[in-house]
Amino acid sequence: MALKNEKLTHLHFYYHNLLAGPNVTALPLNPKGPLDFNDPAGLFGRLTMVDNPLTLEPELNSTTVGRVQGLYGVASRTDVAFVELVNFVFTAGRNPILAAGIREMPVVGGTGVFGFARGKVHFKTYSFDTTTGNGVVECDIYVFHY
């Protein structure tokens, strides 16, 4: 298979994870009691299936550019840190959602135009409601592909 010249693409969008409200897009698969983001040990092991919208702006009613479909789980007993497998790219890594600043996860594969993709994703929490679990995450994907 002949590969063309490698390119770098930067994608920017917002990922809406809605655990509460009229249009839920994230469904806990094994609810473990109350959703308390101040109690990481109580959330440990919680798995959530997602079909989340991707928008151009942080507002949910802005232009939708796709979906994030996959699964995340709370992978730490000491802080709320996620391991995620989602299909906008295959992503796996640690994602401490309540940490300030930018979190980084690897891109280790892709399909279609993004075949043989490799790169990184920067996640930054734009807003988060600790009562409902609803949040908006700003995403920057930097991906090399052919």
Q: What is the pLDDT of residue 135?
A: 93
pTM score over 0.85: no
| Positive or negative: CA dihedral 70, 76, 77, 80 | negative
CATH, range 7-145? 2.40.480.10
- For 84-93, write each residue's pLDDT tens digit: 888 764 345 5
- Look-up: residue for tokens 């919208």? 53
| In contact, 137 and 14? CB cutoff 8 Å | yes
Closest to 21 in 3D by CA, of 136, 100, 98, 137: 136
- For 7-54, write each residue's pLDDT tens digit: 999 999 999 999 999 999 999 998 877 888 888 898 899 999 999 999
- For 49-58, write each residue's pLDDT tens digit: 999 999 999 9
- For 80-115, write each residue's pLDDT tens digit: 888 988 876 434 556 677 777 888 888 888 888 888
